[in-house]
Structure 1
Amino acid sequence: MSEKEILLTPQGLKKIEDEYEQLKTVRRKEVAGRIKEAIAFGDLSENSEYDEAKNEQAQVEERIAKLEMTLRKARIIDETQISLDIVNIGTTVKVKDLEFDEIVEYTIVGSAEADPYDAKISNESPVGQGLLGNKVGDVVDIQVPDGTIQYEILEIKR
């Protein structure tokens, strides 16, 4: 079974690398210090500070392992090679919702860096999949859990 690659923009890679470094160099030491402090309180069988610190340590180590796996599988999108003729991963697309007459912009990214609050949608999401491969002027119907959205593609940029 081959591992599925994880698509990242250069900005997404930097964000993951920064989080990874912070967890390894700062958070790991903080949690180890809390464990050491809790051990000093004595009896570990009824030591809630120790239990909390050990749980936090497990969470930090799990996140570090997840980030390492992401970095190992990462394929960086070369933004200079992205065609602006069609919607692709790494492009920002301005669309008009034809039902509500609203204009919105989405950046299409790999699932690892999707952040709907920052208008970064995954290429694997219904809207991301529906926009991929279309060009300016196209009207696309996209199936979403609530029904169908109809977008007109107004602009594609980096």
Structure 2
Amino acid sequence: MKKKSYLSGVILIGFGIYFLFQQYHFSLFEGFYSWSTLLFIVGLGFLANGYLGKAYESILPGVVLTGLGLHFHIANKLDTWPDHSGIFLLLVALGILLTYVKTGTNLFQGIIFLAMATLLLFFDRLLVWANQQGHNLSSISQFWPFLFIILGAYFLFFKKSR
């Protein structure tokens, strides 16, 4: 039995509503006529396909695209919103963890991404705290890329999938 795909339908309806509102200058959504809204709509299509269509592999791209769309809207409106690369890793972690809820796979990867995102988001505060305690951790920032490469190589070459 074939699964029903919701991806194209949701994206086309979303784009149609977006362009209709834009064409008729619907003032309620005046600040939302940008590419980040289109990212959000595509993400909703993937999420609908993932949850309604039971195509759970669509959850990760849905969370990432929807999250990026929201992130760019919020970052443009709130000065206190973190505009940091850790946000992207946080979205990937959330996507992997939400996929885990449905499939029961990749929990370890989700936790690793969540830990890395947390460290990246709060690394500046961690450095300030360490300096106040008399420790100099600034050299650790030079090793981030190597940590990512080592973890990636582990998942590619050594970790066996079940």
Normalising by structure 1, report the TM-score: 0.30
Q: Per residue, is there more strand in 1 or in 2?
A: 1
**Structure ranking higher on relative contact order (CA contacts 8 Å, 6+ apart):** 1
The structure number with the bigger radius of gyration is: 1
Q: Per residue, is there more helix in 1 or in 2?
A: 2
Normalising by structure 2, report the TM-score: 0.30
